[in-house]
Amino acid sequence: MKKHQNLLLILAVILLALVPLGVVQTDEEETFTGADGEAMVVINQIAPDYEPWFSPFWEPPSAEVESLLFALQAALGGGFIGYYLGVSITRVRMRRAWQQGQPCA
């Protein structure tokens, strides 16, 4: 169990993200829109007169540009974590090799 724990964790994450895609059936044109946007719709229902008093300085001109920036955000994070884990693993290995009196390759 312990040995496969990480694999099971990854599988569970993938399942949790995939299952809704198959299970949810709606007649609406757009499903899986952002919850942030749905909250905005509720605001409009509760307070129909409310006008947002400030708008973003800049908006991504298209969904493609938006996904570029989101991908960039995730890539930055993923790259750094990968780098750190690589450094850590190498450190553990070199320490072990050093303790066994072998030269570090």
Binding site for other proteins (CB under 8 A): 5-6, 9-10, 12-13, 16-17, 19-21, 23-24, 26, 28, 31-40, 42-43, 46-47, 50, 52-60, 66, 69-71, 73-74, 76-81, 84-85, 87-89, 91-92
Q: How many CB atoms lie within 10 A of CB 8?
A: 10
CA 83, 87, 89, 93 torsion: positive or negative? positive
Shortest reach from residue 98's CB to other proteins, in Å:
16
Q: Hey, is 56 helix, strand or coil?
A: coil
Shortest reach from residue 99's CB to other proteins, in Å:
15
Q: Hey, is 7 helix, strand or coil?
A: helix
